[in-house]
Amino acid sequence: MDAKAPRAPRAHIASITPITPITPIASMGSMGSMGSMGSNRRPASARAHPALGRLLLGAAASFAAAAAGALAPVAPAAAYAAEAPPRAMPSTAVPAPPPTPGAGPGDQLTVIVREAGGGADGTFELRCHPQGGSHPKAQDACSWLDRRTTWGKDPFAPVPPGTVCTMQYGGPATAHVTGTWAGRRVDARFDRGNGCEIARWDALVPVLPDLRP
């Protein structure tokens, strides 16, 4: 028998997975340069964060201010201010004293007397400062009125309401005095129907005729 040459064993070829090329590693000098750069410069993200934070804080503050302005009760306050009446200021003025007789024009009276008898009836004009008119006792009447014109007193004032008067009759005489005295308007009526009215009439003599017995 011819001897056969031995067969070579079959080699099992494994599937080869493609190998991704490996980027060459930088030299140590390059790495040193990169290290030095990293130590001197901050990453871009690290530099961007503070600016972004400040931007966000500013936007939040603007939004809060706008919200506060929108929620503030401006309209009710304005309406209240428009409707509220102005506050009255306390007066510090000093009350003026009563006008002094003769200080201004118009001290003139008209005296009408009725039912007095004895020639006392009639209509008489009395002017003071200067004195004049048809009144029979102009000088005495003006002097008496000057003395009776004082602060808080009216020489022509009526009898106060509620005054108790005596049942006394002094006759049918009546008088009506009109005009202006000491800057005030005068419109006073007189009679002698009871004790109070008799005393009031007699207190105005000589402006009115003296009818005392």
SS (H, E, C) the chain: CCCCCCCCCCCCCCCCCCCCCCCCCCCHHHHHHHHHHHHHCCCHHHHHHHHHHHHHHHHHHHHHHHHHHHHCCHHHHHHHHHHCCCCCCCCCCCCCCCCCCCCCCCCEEEEEEECCCCCCCEEEEEECCCCECCCCCHHHHHHHHHHHCCCCCCCCCCCCCCCCCCCCCCCCCEEEEEEEECCEEEEEEEECCCHHHHHHHHHCCCCCCCCCC
pLDDT band at 68 (very low <50, low <70, confident <90, very high): low
User: pLDDT digits over 170-211, tens only?
Assistant: 999 999 999 999 989 999 999 999 999 999 999 999 999 999
The model's pTM is 0.51
* Residue 64 contacts residue 70 (beta carbons within 8 Å): no
**Predicted local confidence at residue 151, as pLDDT:** 79
* Residue 135 contacts residue 112 (beta carbons within 8 Å): no
Of the candidates 177, 153, 160, the one whose C-alpha atom is nearest the C-alpha of residue 101 is 153
**Predicted local confidence at residue 153, as pLDDT:** 85
Reported as half-sphere exposure (CB side, CA atoms, 13 A), residue 28 has a value of 0
User: Quick one: CATH architecture of 108-203?
Assistant: 2-Layer Sandwich (3.30)
- At residue 76, does pLDDT exceed 50? no
The rounded percent of the chain whose pLDDT value lies above 70 is 50
User: pLDDT digits over 15-66, tens only?
Assistant: 444 444 444 444 444 444 444 444 445 544 445 455 556 656 666 666 555 5
Which residue type sits at 128?
A: C
Domain ranges across the chain: 108-203
- At residue 11, does pLDDT exceed 50? no
* Residue 204 contacts residue 176 (beta carbons within 8 Å): no
**Predicted local confidence at residue 203, as pLDDT:** 96
User: pLDDT digits over 81-105, tens only?
Assistant: 445 555 545 444 444 444 444 444 5
Of the candidates 97, 120, 128, the one whose C-alpha atom is nearest the C-alpha of residue 208 is 120
Chain mean position to CA 80 = 13
User: pLDDT digits over 145-179, tens only?
Assistant: 999 988 778 999 999 999 999 999 999 999 999 99
**Predicted local confidence at residue 110, as pLDDT:** 98
